[in-house]
Amino acid sequence: MDNVINKNEKSCVKKKTSHSKLLEKKLLKQKFADENKLEYTDNEEAIVECNIGSLTNIYSRYDMQKSKTLEPLLFEYMMEETDIVPLNNNLQLNMCVYNNTTDEEEVQARKALKTHFSFNIARDNFILRRKIKKGIIYFLCGILTLFLSSFVVTLNTKVPLYELMLIFTWFFSWEASDIILIECNKIKKHRLNMLRLYNAKVIFVRSIVPPRSLIMVKRNSKKTKTKMVVMDNH
């Protein structure tokens, strides 16, 4: 029984490996069609379309003023779309909203987008400066431990100080290179995409028909406002 089970397991493993190899060959040979081709304007600006609906959807639910912080899912979507666009092309954000959206709401939304992106750029600048300082400190510590290792060789001690100094040198040099070459480059790329979104042209496309309930709510709110104005005049 054990031999039969082992044979079955081996055959399953062989099938999986052969299947994975076939998939890898297809990946190398097959040329996938670019179904999600980017759309460009006449000025060669890449169009990023966002299905918004009500403009209140762009704000974070924790933002009381509705003017500073964007909805995290919308922000992630914008960043993912920006990653695809080549650096040579500018961006155009087409925000598809309800057709009863007012000009005041659009002005407020534009201001919120600018505020959110500028805040994130400032935050990335702060994090980048802190990372660079940390990397420089690690690099200097690596040089110091390397210098001490050459001095420790002359000492006759039972503790392997020379090996310890070499380990510390390797650790500090590795951390410094990881911070400066990898982490800082990630932050720079993120900051660049934020800057592209900050400079993007924002166009509100009033193409979505709102539900009847929202139309009734807006009408009722307008009626109450007019009543308040009449009462104030009296």
pLDDT in tens, 133-157: 999 999 999 999 988 888 877 776 6
Query: Could you give phi then psi for residue 36, rounded to 5 degrees?
Result: -95, 65
Is residue 149 a part of any domain in this protein?
A: yes
Element (H, E) at 50: strand 46-53
Please give the Cα distance from 96 to 225 (Å, whole number). 27
Q: Which residue has the higher pLDDT, 103 or 34?
A: 103
Is residue 233 a part of any domain in this protein?
A: no
Unique residue bearing structure tokens 């407020």:
108
Residue 215: is its pLDDT beyond 90? no
Question: What is the total count of domains within the chain?
Answer: 1
Measured CA distances, 183 to 76, 86, 188, 190 (Å): 19, 22, 9, 11
| Residue ranges making up the domain that contains 188 | 45-210
Is residue 128 a part of any domain in this protein?
A: yes
Please give the Cα distance from 158 to 171 (Å, whole number). 23
Q: In what order do the strands lie in the sheet with 91-98?
A: 46-53, 91-98, 201-208
Q: Which residue has the higher pLDDT, 26 or 129?
A: 129
Token pair, residue 109, equals: 């939304």
pLDDT tens-digit series, residues 88-131: 889 999 999 998 889 998 999 999 999 999 999 999 999 999 99
Is residue 216 a part of any domain in this protein?
A: no
